[in-house]
Structure 1
Amino acid sequence: MLTERTSELARLSESLADCERGRGRVVLIGGGMATGKTALLDALGDLAGERATVLRAVGSRAERDLPLGVITQLLADTGQEVRERAASPLDARALEEIGALLTSSDPLVLAVDDVHLADPESQQVLLYLRRRIASSRVLLVLTERERPNLTRESLHAELVRQPDHRIDLAPLSESGVAELIGDADRAASALALTGGNPFLLRALVEDGLAVGPRFRRAVLDCLTRWDPDFLPVAEAVAILGEESSRELVAELLERSARAVGPVLDALGAAGLLREHRLRNPDVVLESLGAAEAARLHARAAELLHRRGAPAVEVARHLTAAGEVPGRWALRPLRYAAEQSLIDDAELAVGCLQLALTATEDEGERVELRGVLVRAAWRINPSLAVRHLGPLADRRDLSWRDAVPVARLRLWQGEQPCDLLRATRAHAGEPHPRAAAELRIAAEWIYGALPEPAALEVGETRWQHTAHLMGAWTRDAPGEVLRAAEHVLQSCAGDVLPEAAAAAVLALDHAGHTERAQHWCETVAAQSRRQGATTARALITAVRADMSWRRGDLIAAETQAQEALRLLHPQSWGVLVGLPNSTLILVNSALGRHDVAAELLARPVPEEMAGTTFGVRHLHATGRHALATGRTLAALDAFERVAARMRRGDPAVPTAIPWRSDLAQTYLLLGRRREARDLVAEQLGHDTGGVRIRAIALRVLAACSEPRQRVAVLREAIGLLERVDDRLELARALADLSQAHSELGQLSNARLVLRKADQMAKSCQAEVLPHRLRDHLDPRPEPAPAPAGAPLLSEAERKVAELAARGQTNREIGRRLYITVSTVEQHLTRVYRKLNVRKRTELPAELSRVNDNDDDGRVLQSR
């Protein structure tokens, strides 16, 4: 079925009717290549049916030298042979005889496709017939490819001059495209890919309306089937891209504009071009050989440079060519690298790498390497390390070159004090902004700098901003807001992403949550727009940390995984502790202890231990140990965190509740006084923020008598609602429900417990102990065991003994060849029967529980 060709078919039907009435007609069908001319001739054959004899032929470039080739095709079905009459030129007798053979049927339709490619002798015969069919029952239908700016050959021009009807086939409109592909919603995108060319559209449909192998083949067929000039011109247009013009294409191909213009017009008429630009340049470029592509790119670069094109456009062609065709290319490569450093780091790296291969001046090489390290870092720190080269050992760098080297050493686990000291001695005082940002980055990663004097500057505003980390640790919200906003407002330029990340986290911890979220989104959008993968990964890890502290565990997990996907763990260096710690904390809270254990087993740089991210990782290790009942392992991890935090480093953020976690561990070990002292120490400090104070109050409640707990927990809950930490809020509510229950306030206990359950479900976290869930969803008490029967079954006893020894549920399952779920069910029944709350309260001699009934009663009444 033809699409959008109703009026054209009507015109052919009208001409056929005239033919039947004895009025011969000539119809010329024109249009771009593959716009449906042949399909219209097919439809004409169906239209004629039994009404007329249809003879068809097609012109071909390959048969142009074959005399009477087209006429022979027309007569093929009649059995008549005209080869012996072929002569050049044909005489009157031969024309008359051949004309008689062709018009022996009545009525007759002669349909010749691509008549412009017919051999001269055939065109001469057709011209002879054309002059004599006015009063006969003959319909002559010719098609020709539209070539508006090309002069026709004389015979062809005379043949197609002033036809009775002219039909011009244009590409399909959007509605026609929708009809052909059967999908109105995707018609616009299909039109953009094909220009409405029916041939390309059908190939697109065969590929499922996506650019696939059939569509690519169809595009290349259009460029190679009809004219040998089409493909070279299309290749030149694809190479030039946005700079393509008639004059540039001609110059690139070393041809005249008059020769190239008609080809561009033909490609445009076919829908392959739009405003002198290919619709599918990738298809053409992929078919182009590497050597030829490099040659064309190099020539395009030179042509654009001569015309004064922007350096970035010239450099794109130079990097695509992979060569420096002359000294003239060094300047545009360097200019392009500087201009694209922020918005297109990949291009900047390509320009600088290429320039390095062509320069022999050592000073110039050092300068190029400095910019190259800076550009490569934006894509991947590991790539920047590979380009570091001799810069790492130089002591005569400018601050511009020294800063990227220093930040690389920070990521690799080194304090670059020697480099900073040497650079100051050689280059003088650093730029205030660069010094402030580097100091913030260094203190965020390591804490206070051993030699801060190297980054001291006289400029007051940036000097104050440089002390952002100190303001954070002092809990000075006003100072944090001023310093952080000063850093983040510089993000429109090339701000150090480590400094931006630290500023966002400082705002969040200081209670400026909305500003932190605003800047987080701003930095993330900018890094995505600029293609700055490293900055994007870093701010995504920051978002994960913020989501974790809001109790949005699923978002935190997704963001931390995305951060690690953007940058390979090896590229993160010591900063890998940021996303890794978040994932360990999240999976521990979600009860996915196997996943958390796998994350902890992953290797991390040894140097990370000396960083703030090492402290985060160690804290997450302790939380996982606590969640899996390994209290002594948790104690070891938290005491090591405490040892680092007690050094009194004024630049290490107090962002983790280490005192509260250590106090909670002491409680589990029965060391109540030490736990209470730790919590009192935390509450006596003004640092840590609202969230840290709320967590400390929850642990204080656990150290207190039941009547005191309620007031303390209510204060903690109020603070947690302020900071919107759903996970810690669920835990505090669960503790409050337990306190009400112990005071006999059962209705209050159930009411608070439901709220705790809702909050826990919103986090998808395992917060409520089984003993509380039983109150939430009461079940019938199990029937008392018969007198003399063991209190615990054999399976329960085995599970309980292994749990009392500190083994995890998974380890118990492997030991006894049962599932983790079965282990949990056994432990739930054991806790209920023995009236204990957790595995650390299980008695060491469990066999005596079953052997001595009195011991069982004592445990149950405890």
Structure 2
Amino acid sequence: MGDAATMASTQSTFGWKVLHDVLADAGAGYGRTALVTGPMAAGKTALLNDFAEYATRQGIRVLKANCSPFGNTGAPGISRQLLGEHAPAVDPDGSATVLGITRLARSTTVLVLVDDLQHADRATGRLLTRLSGEIADRPVLLAAAVRTNTPHATHWLSAELAGRSAFRRISLASLTAEQVQSLAAADFGLPLTLDAASHILRISNGNLLITTALLRDAAGDHVVVGPSYAQAVLDCLHRLDPETRETAEAIAVAGGSSSPRLIAELADSEPEAVEEATRAMVAAGLLSDGGFRHPAAREAILRYIPRKRRALLGRQAAEALNADGASAEDAARWLDSFENGLVPAPLTECHSGEEFHLSGRRLETLLEARDIVGTIEQGIRDLASRENQRVMELEAGKLLVAADFPGLLRQAVGDRDPLARIDTASVRGARYAAAWALAGTLTGRTDARRTMSLANQALERGIFTDEAAPAVLAALRAQIHSGSPQQARGWCDRFLADDQNRDTTPWRAQLTAVRAETALAVGDHAAAVADAEQALSQLPPHQWGVRVGGPLATLLLAHTLAGTPADATALLRRRVPASLYETRYGLCYLYARGHHHLASGEHLPALADFLRCGRVLDNWGLDHGWRIPWRLSAAATHMAMGDYSKSVEYIVQALDRPRPPARETGGDESRFDLREEIFERLREAIGAPELPTVVAGLRNGEPLQNREHTDVPRYKIYDRNAICLQQLSPSERRVAVLAAKGISNQMIARELSVTVSTVEQHLTRTYRKLQLTDRRELRSRLG
């Protein structure tokens, strides 16, 4: 029993003892059959392999075979594995193979080991049952292992073997907490407490392979779910049948709360097969209550799935969720979370503030940018008041960094306004004016007139050098954001035509990218494509860093507007830095990608991108300042999906945001008319390449063009409101209309000569009838 010390648990030691005893019986001429059963990774294969080594050292002839779901192993394959070159060429009923084994037993004891019996076909089953029946008076031990709780378990073969005389079953069940303690002490020298052992069991469900991995990662008495655990999960995944493995991948993609029907759809299987596969994975310690026992298991499997297949499964899951009744927004948010939140973006090493040069060292992550902004702010606090020029220089550098990483803009701007008088004759003054022009327009702290004044002051110096380039680019982008792209384009042409700047530099490549943005803004799509492609060709990707999102976004939107979606699709195959989405360039890339998806008919991915734009802007605190029309784009997406009600809600939200003066309306009637006109304009543009231009025009307050086809049936919002109000009683209708106008309950009660309690009761019934939750939704529906 010395070899038993290598066994991983008490139950394996018991299995070793049973095999040892039945082998002794076989050696005495009493043939035996033993069947080792247990869930995946319970130690069945390890037990057979260790026992085979022991038997070989005892001079016993060992014949080994392994059933497999891959290839045509079958009975002929098993015969070749057992007998090698002595296997019969033709053996339809297995008798020749059985005869070959019994001949070997004339001169020595024979141990026949067959693993993974759950994959055995009928012919293999007949061969093994025949062998079991022929060895009753011969020195042969037939030991097989079968995995329990599998969709394809060969229950009939287990029953056949169990019906033979001299049969022994060895069941390797899941480990217990006490066995985990013993294993930890014997193999890893870890004195685990019972609580820690129980914690490991909750993660592994007693799976020996996973338990061993957790013990390998453990730090003293502290359970750590580390790389060994992830690898053990993948090892278990590789041991699954192909169909069960696809079910595991589908569960990883869709999450544990999904229905068997959804999982079956993703796995291209049947719900009954999914339920069987799920039971097998529960027994194996991978799943619990339909989900993975630990988030690291799901992440490991998702990482294992090839990227393209994972993206395809994600989209299929989102579409299935939407078809199952989840709202388009919920499905889109799920898809966004799945595609972008799967693996945390790696953070590169931080840099100290001393390494930052105000001429613009390229920053790649929010962590770097936050470190720089904090360092500069500390430097400003440390300066004496007499050093105003130095303070202004540092303020400019801080704002330029924050404009690239807008999550820092609120902190960088604070409650300050730009200086009323700026000496832009100096480099420091020009940088300060340019930085404020961009930061002010992004945060909404400066109106278009003040933004243009600051940008022009910065640009009038007419210098584009490496030192001045960050400020010049900021001023140009401020002009684009404030609605003056033609003016910015003129400045770009002037700087690019300057003879002293003919050499290609990173700054000149960015200047070309800005000119592409101006071309796109004025509707010159061909020029936008040419300039953006030229900019990308001037620098290798690693030199662009996160700023590559700028020209890529321009190219995506330009190809979408030009009606060349294949070129846009090719752009999406380009890898972008993981930290791109922490930057201003990443937001533009998301918005452009959303319109490409919408033009391609991929509605849920489009909605996911637009909603993410809104969430990012809200997280940055810039939704009131940065004029990116994600709400109108989301409205267009819902319209394309046939959800007119949601479309109207987003149009209402867009009208509630700050608008240019041309869009201000005087009364409720004009507000209704404007909402109706916007809806109709979007409806006409759905499916047309120029939709992004229409959306941008509506957001910028451009006059609505006269429609040529006045006889086209229109979706009347008035009609929609009438349908809603018809569901209410006259009293409820009067209260709902007043509440939708923002009138308080007390004022409504006074106007209608009822009590406040009556008003509240009417509103409660109104919410229930119209399936609303609060006044905000009521206003969106009826306002």
Question: Structure 1 length normalisation: TM-score?
Answer: 0.38
Higher relative contact order (CA 8 A, sep 6+): 2
